[in-house]
Structure 1
Amino acid sequence: MQTFPSEYGSMIKCVKNTLLTEGISKGLYAGTVPALVCNIAENSILFLSYGLCQKFIQKVNGISNVNQLTTLNNACAGSLASFFASLAICPTELIKCKLQALHETNGKVNISDSASSKIVRHILKSEGIMGLYRGFVPTIAREMPGYFFFFGGYEGSRNLLASPGQNKDEIGLWKTIISGGVGGALFWSTTYPIDVAKSRIQIYNSGESLISLIMKISKNEGFLTLYHGLTPTLVRTIPATAALFVTYEYSKN
């Protein structure tokens, strides 16, 4: 929906057409392997870095305990941590985007096989190692502000949902789920246009700058095209980030 808005006007139409033309495994689950690699790598590095960045923010501000960090402190720690996660997710997101768009780009993008390994070899052969980092600047531009709102929204929601005199770590399962969903929704609501541009840059091997592409899309296709596909993204991310933070908190405990 991000890259081919004229072909897929709605989420339902996109699901229906994908099922009819590509089926389940090659259609709805295209790019599953790199998506799993991407998410596992991103979250592993992100939450490791988040803890370290929290300690860094704590020392810089002379705070005695990590638990005393403010919502703003945690948001800044999350934003800083996302830089390190971006190093891992850019190549895997690139492969995922190309796999998901194989049907639509037939004849437009020079990739003839849907296997992840063959796409990687094709990129390395034609562009070198830096080809795997096409779209890295847009990835950074999405991740750093996005995770500011992601962790800020999560920690802020936990503080708001805590009862008077209650520690935010004691709010329980359902309030943690709500807080995680809020963090995910804020991430994508604030950074979605950047992700649209990133997807197009990676799929079409574009060398165009992020700002110029966003301006071109807005001028030629309309401003709302920059938010085309936001609904399925939110449908996906709210339960996903809710589960992510619940797993994080209970694993930590």
Structure 2
Amino acid sequence: MAMEHKDDHGTLKSPKNLKSGIIDFTAGSLGGVTLVYVGQPLDTVKVKMQTFPQLYKGMIDCFMKTLKQDGIVRGLYAGTIPALVANVAENSVLFAAYGLCQNAIANLTGVQKVEDLSLLGNAWAGFFAAFFSSLSLCPTELIKCQLQAMREVETQKAAPGERVNFIGPWQLTKQIVRAEGPQGLFRGLLSTIGREMPGYFCFFGGYETTRQLLAKPGQNKEDIGWINTMIAGAAGGVIFWLVIFPADVIKSRIQVQNLRKPVYIILKDVVRTEGIGALYNGLKPTLIRTVPATATLFVTYEYSKGLMHKYFDD
């Protein structure tokens, strides 16, 4: 996906490589913005069902109760600002790191052009890139999840009939830092890394595989058109969530319910007390959300990257 520029001796031209990295970073940022606005309502439903499954009969019940109680902005689009920050941070770092990891793997394996990397090579590039994006994602994901489930958390604390007190993302961030220090913003980091790295191995592997399958004989996968790019993006997103969803449930509970136990203990407790099905609470709205959201992400990324390369390349 990232373009590689070499001189006549086959060595990497660092200014050109830096420019490609900046373009990947910018295109990833734009993709992250579109993903949030398309998918935020169902992401809110997902987080609520993951962390408080006993309060809802299913996806539609959760959606309608949230809409009725808190409306569109405070309810379904709760946590949009940190979600924007989270997704811009994650996707800009992810796609920039993905391009760099593609280059590194191509150099290590003796592949002349990044475009000629194997499907497995692209998957490994996604795996390693996800480590770096996890570091930028964890704090903003923490704030987003807590804002999305704020009604449920505060209702449990409040006396019967007492009004729920909502606070904004900046107030919540200050509250966490005041109580726990800056490290409090990285609660759930290990579970985030444990989710992201294998997830993005499958994500980019699935995306690149689907693009290759959709390319006609002799056609470059970069030229398959926006509809096929959306299909490939949606396929990558569905594979991602099917693989990592149990880890995402555990991460959401750690971040929303302030759990302090090791990940494997929480996993064991959830399976023992709620059954293995609890690890898939919220999967339906996630899969429904990820098809248009991830499709939009990749179309925005690929086409904005292509336009920037066309405009800025010599």
Secondary structure of 2:150's aligned partner: coil
Contact 1:113 1:119 (8 Å CA) reproduced: no
Q: Distance in 1 between matches of 2:166 and 2:211?
A: 46
Shift of the alpha carbon at 1:9?
2.3
Offset at 1:252? Answer: 2.2
SS of residue in 1 equivalent to 2:151: coil
Query: Take 1:92 and 1:35, find their aligned partners in 2: how far apart are those partners?
Result: 7
Asked if residue 101 in structure 1 is aligned to residue 149 in structure 2, the reply is: yes
User: Is 2:235 the counterpart of 1:182?
Assistant: yes
**Counterpart-to-counterpart distance in 2, 1:211 and 1:9:** 27
In structure 2, the partner of 1:31 is 79
TM-score w.r.t. the length of structure 2 is 0.78
- What do the CA deviations read for 1:199-247 (whole angstroms, capped 9, x no partner)? 0000111111111111211111011111010111111111111111111
Matches of 1:67 and 1:21, distance apart in 2: 50
User: Superposition pairs for residues 185-200 of structure 1, below 5 Å?
Assistant: 185-200=238-253
Q: Does 1:80 align with 2:133?
A: no
> Residue 129 of structure 2 aligns to which amino acid in structure 1?
A
Equivalent of residue 296 in structure 2, options 213, 230, 243: 243
Letter aligned with residue 179 of structure 1: A
Q: Distance in 2 between matches of 1:121 and 1:113?
A: 14
3-state DSSP of counterpart to 1:250: helix
**Structure 2 gaps, min length 5:** 1-48, 159-163, 307-314
2:102 to 54, 62, 74: 54
The whole-number CA distance in structure 1 between the counterparts of 2:120 and 2:247 is 23
**Equivalent in the alignment of 2:305:** 252
CA distance in 1, matches of 2:305, 2:71: 40
CA distance in 2, matches of 1:62, 1:112: 58
Q: What corresponds to 1:67 in structure 2?
A: 115
Instruction: Name the aligned partner's letter for residue 168 of structure 1.
Output: K
Correspondence for 1:91: 139
Contact 2:151 2:166 in 1 (8 A): no
Counterpart for residue 174 of structure 2: 121
CA distance in 2, matches of 1:63, 1:165: 20
Among 53, 73, 77, the alignment partner of 1:5 is 53
- Tell me, in whole angstroms, the C-alpha distance in 1 between the residues paired with 2:262 and 2:184: 15
Q: Distance in 2 between matches of 1:45 and 1:109?
A: 37
Write out per-residue CA displacement over residues 124-153 of structure 1, whole angstroms, 9 at most, x where no aligned residue: 111001000000000000000000011000
Q: Which has the higher contact order (CA 8 A, sep 6+)?
A: 2
TM-score, normalisation: structure 1: 0.96
Aligned 8 A contact 2:66 2:76 in 1? yes
Greater displacement, 167-176 / 110-119: 110-119
Unaligned runs of 5+ in 1: none
- Give structure 1 regions of 4+ aligned residues with deviation exceeding 6 angstroms: none
Q: Give me the whole-angstrom Cα distance separating, in 1, the residues matched to 2:181 and 2:247.
A: 25
